[in-house]
Amino acid sequence: MNSKSPFTLHSKSSECNARRGEVKTKHGIVQTPVFMPVGTQGTVKAVTPDNLKEMGAQIILGNTYHLYIRPGHELIEKFGGLHGFMNWDGSILTDSGGFQIFSLKELAKITEEGAAFRSHIDGSKLFLSPEDAVHVQQSLGSDIMMVLDTCIPYPADRDQAQKATDLTTRWAKRCREAHTKRDQLLFGIVQGGMYEDMRREHAAALQEIGFDGYALGGLSVGESKELMYDMTEATAPHLPEDYSRYLMGVGTPEDLVEGVWRGIDMFDCVMPTRNARNGTLFTSTGKLTIKNSRYREDHRPLDENCDCYTCRNYSRAYLRHLFHSREILSYHLNTIHNLHYYVNLMKGIRNAIENDCYAAFRKDFYGRLETE
């Protein structure tokens, strides 16, 4: 275990496992629980860094796999790393590429040495070892790096899950040994499929190696919500209390509320940005599909409880018109709103934990939800 954790725990709920804390990174202090907008290719789609700052985003994601393929980590390093390249002075977390390689399926081959795969862009042969994953992320200059892991499909039998989890442990050790830039934090990733005991054992194995934080990987891969929540609930208490807990690739507003209830500090998901481009907006009363004809003459903002740029300035009728006209501004305004909603939700969650009223907050959150 590392001598000093970058995470500080400020308060805990007396009603559940919710925690209020902060993570210290080289680009500042991130208040948790936190949602991290996803910026796969060095940009959070359809918004500028200034938009992100205005809505209160503290930390964003970059994607090792995509940036490794294009434009290349060596080029990004010449521009002062990802921060300089994309003009973002907040914190950045980069994932290791494990999930993207897992998603390639027939284009990838996993061996003890690492992952051999073909570029999804031009089909060229590429290889990423655990050491390469750390080296690429160190070149990108991210504040938080992730170890290279092997994702487990769902469903997976016990033997398949155990073999993949054991390989992730061996890769995690190699990542830790390759980690030379200690001002960049390195998080371990707990795997174990849908087997509670395997996840507990893997959490212990990673703590033995010692990381700057711990993530739950391999969830939201096709299993039911109940199973995802069960695995989170079974694993989180076995992660050290004085280190960050990150639930990777999750999820809906409900998932954030439930994840925090079970002791998670950090989340990321493409859902708010992707849904914005598809015309699905998150509001304090539930989801709204902007293309629906009922909004054709609707003067109201998307959400009367929202103070984002979009809600302060535009009607549902105008946003519906933009969406149907396939105007680029539609993506921009919808994305600003959805990300603001997520960032604001996390702010409300932090306040509720501080005031030890998270159960009431959760109840109120569900009480407001309606269906269109």
Q: Are 96 and 67 in contact (CB under 8 A)?
A: no
Q: Concatenated DSSP letters for 109-149?
A: EE-SS-EEEE-TTT--EEEE-HHHHHHHHHHHT-SEEE---
Percentage of the chain beyond pLDDT 90 is 94
- Average pLDDT of the residues in 115-133: 93
Q: What angle do CA 223, 225, 226 make, to 5 degrees?
A: 100
DSSP state of 218: S
Closest CA to 275 of 220, 344, 323: 323
What is the per-residue pLDDT across 218-227, written as a single tens digit (0 to 9) for each? 999 999 999 9
Closest CA to 320 of 307, 302, 341, 303: 302
Residues of the chain with CATH 3.20.20.105: 7-269
What is the per-residue pLDDT across 308-357, written as a single tens digit (0 to 9) for each? 999 999 999 999 999 999 999 999 999 999 999 999 999 999 999 999 99
> Could you tell me whether strands 7-12 and 19-25 are parallel, antiparallel, or unpaired per DSSP bridges?
antiparallel
Q: Given 132, 143, 265, 268, which residue is catalytic? A: 268
Model pTM greater than 0.95? Answer: yes
How far CA 229 is from CA of 28, 95, 166, 256, 362, in Å, comes to 31, 22, 23, 11, 15
How far CA 205 is from CA of 187, 202, 251, 278, in Å, comes to 13, 5, 27, 41
- Rounded to 5 degrees, φ, ψ at 226 are -60, -40
Residue matched to tokens 């959150």: 365
Q: Are 214 and 246 in contact (CB under 8 A)?
A: yes
What is the per-residue pLDDT across 260-282, written as a single tens digit (0 to 9) for each? 999 999 999 999 999 999 999 99
Dihedral-angle region of residue 28 (phi above 0 means left; psi in -120 to 50 means alpha; beta otherwise): left
Is pLDDT of 187 > 90?
yes
Active-site residue, 157 included: no
Q: Are 30 and 244 in contact (CB under 8 A)?
A: no
Is pLDDT of 100 > 80?
yes
Is pLDDT of 298 > 70?
yes
Q: Given 89, 95, 143, 159, which residue is catalytic? A: 95
Record the tokens describing residue 340, joined without a space: 């603001």
Q: What is the pLDDT of residue 1?
A: 45
Q: What is the pLDDT of residue 107?
A: 81
- On average, the pLDDT of the chain sits at 96
325-329 long-range Cβ contacts below 8 angstroms, 24+ apart: none
- Average pLDDT of the residues in 65-71: 95
Sign of the CA dihedral running 279, 283, 285, 286: positive
Closest CA to 278 of 321, 326, 312, 310: 326
What is the per-residue pLDDT across 128-144, written as a single tens digit (0 to 9) for each? 999 999 999 999 999 99
- Average pLDDT of the residues in 136-153: 96
Which region among 2-6, 88-92, 196-200, 364-368 has the lowest average model confidence (pLDDT)? 2-6
CATH of 7-269, one of 3.30.70.420, 3.20.20.105, 3.30.70.360, 3.40.50.300: 3.20.20.105
Closest CA to 150 of 211, 200, 109: 109
**98 vs 238, which has greater pLDDT?**
238
Closest CA to 288 of 259, 258, 317, 260: 317
Is pLDDT of 371 > 80?
no
The CB-side HSE value for 30 (13 A sphere, CA atoms) comes to: 29
From the number of C-beta atoms within 10 Å of its C-beta (0-12, 13-18, 19+), residue 3 rates as exposed
Please list, in sequence order, all residues whose beta carbon lies within 8 angstroms of the beta carbon of residue 278, skipping any fewer than 6 positions away: none
Active-site residue, 95 included: yes
Closest CA to 31 of 249, 356, 350, 358: 350
Peptide bond into 253 cis (omega under 30): no
| E strand or H helix at 368 | helix 358-368
Confidence of residue 372 (pLDDT cuts 50, 70, 90): low
| E strand or H helix at 291 | none
